Amino acid sequence: MARGKALMDHGVLITTLGVLFLAGLLADQLGHATRLPRVTMLLLLGFLVGQSGLGLLPDTSADWFEPLSFIALTMVAFLLGGELTRENLTQHGRAIFAISLSVVIGTTIIVSAGLALVGLDPGIALLLGAIATATAPAAIADVIRQSGIKNGFSETLSGIVAIDDIWGLMIFSLCLALVHPFDGWTEPVMAVVVDIGGAMLLGCVIGLPAAYLTGRLKPGEPLQTEAIGVVFVTAGVSIWLEVSFLVAGMTAGAVIANLAQHHERAFHEIEYIEWPFILLFFLLAGASLELSALQSLGWMTAAYVGLRILSRLIAGEIGARLGRVPMIERHAYGPALLPQAGVAVGMALVAAEAIPEWGATIMSLTVAATVVFEVLGPPAALWALRRVDAASKPKG
């Protein structure tokens, strides 16, 4: 009897995965037909089959999301870290740092000040302003890849997405220290130092030997097995040590890209194997969206969303001017950085745990805004990429 139930559970799991892969392929094709980002189509499809929609997924599917997200996002972090080469930083480094810092600082100030002015407690407003700095690296990276556009704007955008969540985590820790009623500065600041510093150290520990050892079995490019192995080790050890797997993956990818001289591109094979993981990640992310969160805070959600959009547009413009990017790119960074996802929810969970009396408000508002920005953010990013690409082509 027990074996029969176990076999049935395995059958449901394997069948569900097969159906999700085929549904993801359909969503991908619909994305091409409608010129919408496939990320948005996958999220909407996931929402449709999830518990807030038709409820077609088995209850156990919620348990798959977290481990899958660790693997998928670590792959994305590796590829984004690979964009931080000496050549890219020499060419676009000023713009990457100027825009990322401007957007993070500007978002915190504008969102927190705006929410306080409309009547929210200044402490909650400050934390929500810091949470609003987070982006969605997986969504933006996939939009760039889907667009097929490779130019200065896409390279700079990849560099910004690779590091802006690091600045965001630092700002969040400082804001949490300012409003935390118990432990003052020490606990949140030390937590972010250990989280980011430990992750960077781990990325170097894995990246340094990998840079010299990978790609030896088959000259010219690493094997898929090597790439998967390094990604899984990075993700697993990061979780075990309780440090940021995103930062660890990014650091390892950057180290390998800069030091691996014997093959042309670090972990080129990851680009060919990440899509099934990314597909399932976005489908399950869509299935986890709760429409009720949008209704729970009403006008406050609308204010947060509006202020975050405004802050991205203003701060992106300021950062672009400071970074001396070409004129045709200056208005595009704000829209391109609108997507927001898991990092924001992670920050909200930390804030809710630290200050329980504010937890419900912070979590509800963050989840509600994430629903909006996960669906609307990728089309905005794709629009920005296409706009810059079209404007940069000579008029024929």
Per-residue pLDDT of the chain (396 residues; tens, 9 = 90+): 555 555 556 677 778 778 778 877 777 777 667 667 777 777 778 878 777 667 777 766 667 777 877 888 888 888 778 777 787 778 888 889 999 999 999 999 999 999 999 888 888 899 999 999 988 888 888 888 888 888 888 889 988 888 887 888 888 878 887 777 555 556 666 777 787 888 889 999 998 888 877 666 665 555 677 778 888 999 999 989 888 888 888 888 888 888 876 555 545 566 667 777 777 777 777 777 666 655 666 778 889 999 999 999 999 999 999 998 888 888 999 999 998 876 787 788 778 777 888 877 787 788 778 878 888 888 999 999 999 888 877 665
Burial of residue 220, with CB atoms counted within 10 A of its CB: 0-12 exposed, 13-18 middle, 19 or more buried: exposed
Q: pLDDT tens for residues 289-337?
A: 666 655 666 778 889 999 999 999 999 999 999 998 888 888 999 999 9
The amino acid that residue 44 corresponds to is L
- Domains of the chain as residue ranges with CATH: 61-392 (1.20.1530.20)
Rounded to an integer, what distance in angstroms lies between the CA atom of residue 229 and that of residue 252? 13
- Distance (Å, whole) CA 78 – CA 247: 9
Local structure of 341: helix, strand or coil: coil
How far apart (Å, rounded) are the C-alpha atoms in residues 252 and 248?
A: 6
pLDDT value, residue 126: 92
How far is 159 from 164, CA to CA, in rounded Å? 9
For the chain, report the end-to-end CA distance as a whole number of angstroms: 72
Helix, coil or strand: residue 120 = coil
One DSSP character per residue, 182-196 reads SSTTHHHHHHHHHHH
Give the model confidence (pLDDT) of 279-289 as tens digits.
777 777 777 76
Tell me the Cα Rg of the chain.
21
> What pLDDT score was predicted for residue 189?
66
| pLDDT at residue number 271 | 66
Report the distance separating Cα 33 and Cα 363, nearest Å.
Answer: 36
H helices present in the chain, as ranges: 2-34, 38-49, 61-81, 86-117, 122-131, 137-147, 152-179, 186-213, 224-241, 245-259, 270-288, 292-296, 299-322, 333-336, 342-354, 356-392
